[in-house]
């Protein structure tokens, strides 16, 4: 059994000050994927994670205090690939891939598009290019787990008051349609395989007491390729953890 936790920490330095290391020491996942580092590895103490037994792989954005992804793994991967070999995305620290013996894992932070205009266009371009990248990767490694902040609520059940958000980036028809197409490539939303209940979210705005009212969005996912989706054992949204405006999501899979 492997436990894989993904967490948009909204700044690793801030999250560490709020006890992220204590959370990780308690949970001890086999793999810990991080999004929105907002730092390079020389700006925080990497030994916090190394001392817990993790091999640490960072892909920070070139822009200071922005974006960035990581994979912390108890097992040393066979290979780690930084980015998609596409400069306009890779300079933002969006994608990191770890290849293991029996599966591969992607930690991804999809652009938000919330400022609209150019960034929404950038997001849609990223979605298309990322899908093509994954299709090629599946040819080499059919057992693939994609985890991270996808910045899209797939279905109405994944967002509070869906009728209010029809024109919001993250719930636009074209984004949700992309999500349908992406799953049809051969993926399962691991959470929805185990839980069909509403009001399960992974991100809440800092405004208007959204978290206390549970006015959230489920935008963080584990997508598991259909070749191994029957190996999904358990899935938990750890919504009591508050080191970020997101919360951790945990997949347990027999692989």
With CA atoms as reference, report the closest residue to 23 among 42, 5, 3.
Answer: 5
pTM of the model: 0.97
With CA atoms as reference, report the closest residue to 152 among 214, 115, 110, 201.
Answer: 110
**Residues with catalytic roles:** 149
Q: Half-sphere exposure (CA, 13 Å, Cβ side) for 135?
A: 11
Residue 59 to residue 95: CA distance in whole angstroms: 8
**How far from the centroid of its chain's Cα atoms is residue 7's Cα?**
6
Helices (H), the chain: 12-17, 20-27, 47-50, 87-90, 118-140, 173-184, 190-194
Q: Class of the 2-253 domain?
A: alpha beta
CB-CB contact of 216 with 201 (8 Å): yes
255 residues of the chain, pLDDT tens digit each: 999 999 999 999 999 999 999 999 999 999 999 999 999 999 999 999 999 999 999 999 999 999 999 999 999 999 999 999 999 999 999 999 999 999 999 999 999 988 778 999 999 999 999 999 999 999 999 999 999 999 999 999 999 999 999 999 999 999 999 999 999 999 999 999 999 999 999 999 999 999 999 999 999 999 999 999 999 999 999 999 999 999 999 999 998
pLDDT of residue 117: 86
């Amino acid at each position: 059994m492997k436990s894989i936790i993904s967490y948009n920490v909204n700044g690793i330095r801030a999250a560490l000050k709020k006890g992220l290391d204590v959370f990780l020491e308690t949970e001890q996942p086999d793999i810990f994927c991080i999004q929105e580092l907002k730092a390079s590895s020389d700006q925080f103490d990497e030994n916090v994670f190394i001392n817990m037994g993790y091999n640490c792989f960072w892909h920070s954005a070139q822009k200071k205090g922005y974006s960035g992804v990581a994979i912390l793994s108890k097992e040393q991967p066979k290979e780690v690939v930084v980015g998609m070999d596409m400069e306009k995305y890779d300079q933002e620290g969006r994608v990191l891939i770890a290849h293991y013996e029996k599966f591969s894992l992607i930690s991804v932070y999809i652009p938000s598009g919330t400022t609209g205009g150019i960034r929404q266009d950038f997001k849609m371009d990223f979605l298309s290019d990322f899908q093509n990248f994954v299709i090629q990767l599946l040819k080499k490694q059919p057992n693939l787990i994609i985890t991270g902040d996808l910045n899209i609520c797939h279905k109405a059940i994944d967002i509070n008051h869906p009728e209010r958000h029809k024109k919001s980036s993250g719930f636009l028809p074209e984004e949700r349609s992309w999500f349908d197409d992406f799953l049809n490539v051969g993926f399962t939303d691991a959470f929805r395989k185990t839980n069909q209940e509403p009001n399960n979210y992974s991100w809440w705005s800092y405004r208007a007491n959204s978290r206390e009212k549970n006015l959230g969005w489920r935008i963080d996912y584990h997508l598991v390729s259909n070749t191994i989706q029957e190996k999904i054992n358990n899935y938990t949204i750890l919504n009591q953890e508050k080191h970020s405006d997101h919360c951790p999501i945990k997949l347990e899979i027999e692989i």
